Amino acid sequence: MTRSLPLFSLVAALALAAGPSLAAPPAGSPAQPAQASAAAQAPAAEAPVTCKSGIALQLLGSGGPISDDGRASSGAVIWIDGKARLLIDAGGGTYLRYGQSGARLEDLDFIGISHFHTDHVADLPAILKGAYFLSGNHEVQLVGPSGDANFPSMTTFFDREFGRGHGAFEYLSGLSNASDGLQLAVHPSDVNVASPGATRVWQGDGVTVYAFGIPHGDVPALAFRIETPQGVIVLSADQNGSRKEFVDFARGADILMMPAAIDDDADAQSRFLHATPTIVGKIAAAVNPKMLVLDHFMGRSLRDKDKNVGVIRQFYTGPVYAGRDLSCFPLSH
Ligand SMILES: [Zn+2]
Ligand SMILES: [Zn+2]
């Protein structure tokens, strides 16, 4: 069964034209053209593209791990009443988009890292380095997955990056306790990806963040659920969709974000790591969010985007948005 419902997509040009308070188009609005050229995706404006009213999800990067998509890799911020309080993932290119979004390091309370592939964490040191230029002392919680033989845990990663005497960026070792001129104390912790239930990882101002292990091949990985007074946002990073309990973790989401990394005919190794459009559609149908946002596009999945969205829509009939760098998705009041 193939439905002919329109694809709703946000384009960077639309975001820039609409100015700093762009809202995602409401369900039922006309389809927007989804141009895939690099030129169309690259935000050109100097002014920050922000979504500063209420609570909103803003993508920093909507691309994947290969530089053939003209997009920053994975990352998103959650705006709460004008401040970007939460950062989820910091893949390559998100450092630039973080600044373009208008987010400020002094407003940041929580960083969640889904896993230690470069397209989800490579820009973390660059973003944290801004701590040299803050006034006053600030603190941020840094939460990521437990490790295994092939990947470090969050705490090990932090130590290998910033550990005094041995870290790759030892010159930023003051991040552990806001010393050496760095005005930010970063508190890393690990979440056991094999934990049977969700782990509460942050709470403040009525907002609660939970983490839950997701199957990304053999890579320890987490999804994040953000419960707010205005609704629930669930961000799935890379996963192959084989952990059925993810649906329970995501249930009740107003916004569900899922990667659109591969096609249905991808090879076995790709399907070991990533969910196909059919699986994304089935998960979205089971979760039944008010909207589905796609990110983590790669060269081929961009070329096949309309076809893949059509596959997803065979299962999930709510609005589907193809995210772009700096796309903004407010929770409705
Ligand atoms: Zn990955
Ligand atoms: Zn990835």
pLDDT of residue 48: 59
Q: How many angstroms is it from 61 CA to the middle of ligand 2? A: 11
Proportion of the chain above pLDDT 70, given as a percent = 85
The pLDDT of 260-286, averaged and rounded, is: 97
CA dihedral 191→197→201→204, nearest 10 degrees, is 180
Q: Tell me the residues surrounding ligand 2 (ion) with CB < 5 Å.
A: 119, 238
**230 Cβ neighbours under 8 A, 6+ residues apart:** 54, 55, 331, 332, 333
Dist CA 256 CA 127 (whole Å):
25
The Å distance, Cα 317 to ligand 1 centre, comes to 27
pLDDT mean over 298-320: 95
Residue 312 CA, distance from chain mean position: 20
Neighbours of 156 (CB within 10 A): 17
Looking at the chain, how many residues does it have? 333
Mapping DSSP to helix (H, G, I), strand (E, B) and coil, where does residue 241 land?
coil
For residues 195 and 136, what is the distance between their CA atoms, to the nearest angstrom?
37
SS3 95: helix
Query: What does the alpha-carbon distance between residue 115 and residue 215 come to, in Å, rounded to a whole number?
Result: 11
Structure tokens at 250: 């995501």
What is the pLDDT of the chain when averaged over all its residues?
A: 88
CA of 233 to the centre of ligand 1 (A): 20
Ligand 2 center from residue 30 Cα (angstroms)? 30
| Mean pLDDT, residues 232-251 | 98
**Distance between CA atoms of 290 and 298, rounded to whole angstroms?**
25
pLDDT of residue 49: 65
User: Do 311 and 260 touch, CB atoms closer than 8 A?
Assistant: no
Average pLDDT over residues 286-305: 95
pLDDT > 70? residue 5: no
Q: Residue 126, SS3?
A: helix
| Ligand nearest to the Cα of 239, by number | 1
User: If you average pLDDT over residues 219-238, what whole number do you get?
Assistant: 98
Q: How far is the CA of 74 from the centre of ligand 2 (A)?
A: 7
Q: How far is the CA of 179 from the centre of ligand 2 (A)?
A: 33
The ranges assigned to domains in the chain are: 8-23+49-330
The class of domain 8-23+49-330 in CATH terms is alpha beta
Measured between alpha carbons, how far is 188 from 196 in angstroms, rounded to an integer?
22
